[in-house]
């Protein structure tokens, strides 16, 4: 059979992260390539208790079809919480989605025509890049600086791409770089979006995981014109396997997302939504988040201290204030792909080559991503020592 696939499939490739993760099936490989929450971060006993209670007391609600917008008690809880944070504004609505990945896909379907432009940070989250490509978008990457996206280069990109539909940004502890956008840049980005008539998709899966530094207001808090779409998620704060996230945007946008979601999965898993709502209602959410931040503070410090002690100074790296990732950069002239391949094949340490996070194949990088949440403390120490030895053999 000569299979004839849709043209859009030509823009999609298997995630480089997934390909490298195949090596982590070998238990001897140190998993710096993943992005999973730490095993000790999961409140497994409480989730088991809540699940049992739901299935005993209200099983039909958990097992039956439900409404596309999401489980009403959870939506009401989140609306109250995000109104208090000045993220949900008058005229906004909130919809539950099956992970932020679905939110990205649905938003692209709602806003982007074939050939329209989406401008994103460079590097950026690979899942988002694939969602945009699947929607037929033209991707334009704008380089990152130490405090976030380059404002000068962003304006140039907007001037050169008149058909830009939205900007995709991860302002807090960005994946993959770990960089946090400054308040000054958040204000500048918002004003620029107003000036050029484009929307902003603010992806904030890591925002609660700040373990050092001061909180920076989200871009959505600046939004007075309904141009910011905000995405939040339980994946990094409760459980990624439950696939519960949410979109906050002007009701005109969320209504369209609801219609498209009805053709996609009808609604997000209701049992998962019920667990999230009951967990938030019956537990001290702030204390839960504080515990997660302490877990990741210790893990990040362990990795950063190891890099400072064992890495050749010619290899630079970011110092995140939260989240799950560190971005290492090799010196000029070093083959980054060879370094990453050698690390996993010869030294059993898996890192992600930076090319996975580039918007286009022509975009060049010498960087790689490390994750400190998934490996054990012992794996962090050993893995950094092994990578450190590699850095002193660079030529």
3-state DSSP of 63-123: HCCCCCCCCHHHHHHHHHHHHHCCCCCCCEEEEEECHHHHHHHHHHHHHCCCCCEEEEEEC
pLDDT of residue 6: 73
Task: Provide the 10 A C-beta neighbour count for residue 348.
Answer: 17
Pick the CATH number of 7-43+289-391 from 3.40.50.800, 3.30.70.20, 3.90.1150.10, 1.10.8.190: 3.90.1150.10
- Residue 268 is classified by DSSP as -
Read off the pLDDT of each residue in 135-146 and give the average, rounded to a whole number: 96
pLDDT of residue 319: 98
Q: Is the pLDDT of residue 52 over 70?
A: yes
Mean pLDDT of the chain: 94
Pick the CATH number of 45-282 from 3.40.640.10, 3.40.50.1860, 3.40.50.300, 3.20.20.60: 3.40.640.10
Read off the pLDDT of each residue in 162-190 and give the average, rounded to a whole number: 98
Share of the chain above pLDDT 70, in %: 95
Rg (CA), the chain: 21
Local structure of 170: helix, strand or coil: coil
> Phi, psi at residue 250, to the nearest 5°?
-55, 140
Q: CB of 343 within 8 A of CB of 350?
A: yes
Sheet holding 199-203, edge to edge: 92-97, 245-250, 228-233, 199-203, 164-169, 117-122, 138-145, 148-149
Question: 390: closest CA among 314, 327, 332?
Answer: 314
Residues of CATH 3.40.640.10 domain(s) within the chain?
45-282
pLDDT of residue 3: 74
- For 165-176, write each residue's pLDDT tens digit: 999 999 999 999
Provide the pLDDT confidence category of residue 25 given band limits of 50, 70 and 90.
confident
Provide the pLDDT confidence category of residue 363 given band limits of 50, 70 and 90.
confident
In angstroms, how far is CA 308 from the centroid of its own chain?
26
- For 309-319, write each residue's pLDDT tens digit: 999 999 999 99
Placement of tokens 């099936």 in the chain: 25
Residues of CATH 3.90.1150.10 domain(s) within the chain?
7-43+289-391
Buried b (16+ CB within 10 A) or exposed e, 326-340: bbbbbeeeeebeebb
Number of H helices, E strands in the chain: 13, 14
- For 62-108, write each residue's pLDDT tens digit: 999 999 999 999 999 999 999 999 999 999 999 999 999 999 999 99
Query: Residue 210 and residue 328: Cα distance in Å, rounded?
Result: 20
Q: Is the pLDDT of residue 61 over 90?
A: yes
Q: Kindly report the CA angle at 153 between 150 and 154, in degrees rounded to 5?
A: 80
Q: CB of 275 within 8 A of CB of 50?
A: yes
Give CA separation, 352 vs 50, 130, 245, 272, 358, in Å.
Answer: 36, 16, 25, 30, 12
Longest dimension (CA), the chain: 65
> Phi, psi at residue 58, to the nearest 5°?
-145, 55
Q: Is the pLDDT of residue 15 over 60?
A: no
């Amino acid at each position: 059979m000569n299979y004839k696939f849709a043209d859009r499939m030509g823009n999609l490739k298997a995630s480089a992260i997934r390909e490298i993760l195949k090596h982590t099936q070998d238990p001897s490989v140190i998993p710096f390539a993943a992005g999973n929450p730490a095993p000790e971060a999961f409140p497994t006993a409480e989730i088991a208790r809540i699940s049992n209670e739901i299935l005993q007391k209200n099983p039909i609600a958990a097992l039956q079809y439900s409404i596309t917008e999401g489980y009403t008690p959870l939506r009401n809880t989140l609306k109250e919480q995000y109104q208090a944070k000045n993220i949900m504004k008058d005229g906004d609505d909130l919809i539950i989605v099956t992970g932020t990945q679905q939110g990205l896909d649905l938003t692209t379907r709602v806003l982007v025509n074939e050939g329209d432009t989406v401008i994103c940070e460079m590097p950026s989250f690979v899942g988002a890049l694939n969602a945009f490509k699947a929607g037929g978008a033209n991707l334009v990457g704008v380089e990152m600086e130490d405090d976030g996206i380059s404002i000068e280069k962003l304006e140039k990109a907007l001037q050169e791409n008149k058909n830009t539909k939205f900007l995709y940004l991860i302002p807090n502890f960005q994946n993959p770089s770990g960089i946090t956008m400054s308040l000054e840049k958040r204000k500048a980005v918002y004003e620029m979006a107003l000036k050029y008539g484009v929307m902003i998709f603010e992806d904030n899966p890591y925002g609660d995981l700040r373990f050092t530094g001061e909180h920076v207001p989200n871009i959505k808090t600046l939004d007075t014109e309904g141009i910011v779409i905000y995405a939040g998620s339980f994946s990094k704060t409760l459980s990624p396997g439950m696939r519960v996230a949410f979109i906050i945007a002007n009701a005109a946008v969320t209504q369209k997302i609801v219609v498209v979601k009805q053709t996609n999965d009808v609604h997000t898993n209701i049992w998962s939504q019920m667990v999230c709502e009951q967990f938030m209602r019956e537990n001290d959410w702030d204390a839960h988040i504080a515990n997660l931040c302490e877990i990741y503070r210790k893990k990040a410090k362990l990795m950063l201290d190891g890099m400072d002690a064992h890495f050749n100074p010619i290899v630079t790296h970011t110092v995140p204030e939260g989240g799950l990732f560190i971005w290492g950069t090799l010196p000029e002239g070093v083959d980054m792909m060879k370094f990453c391949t050698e690390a996993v094949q010869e030294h059993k340490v898996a890192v992600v080559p930076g090319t996975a996070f580039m918007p286009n194949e022509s975009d060049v990088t010498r960087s790689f991503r490390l994750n400190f949440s998934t490996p054990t403390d012992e794996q962090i120490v050993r893995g950094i020592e092994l990578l450190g030895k590699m850095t002193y053999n660079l030529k």
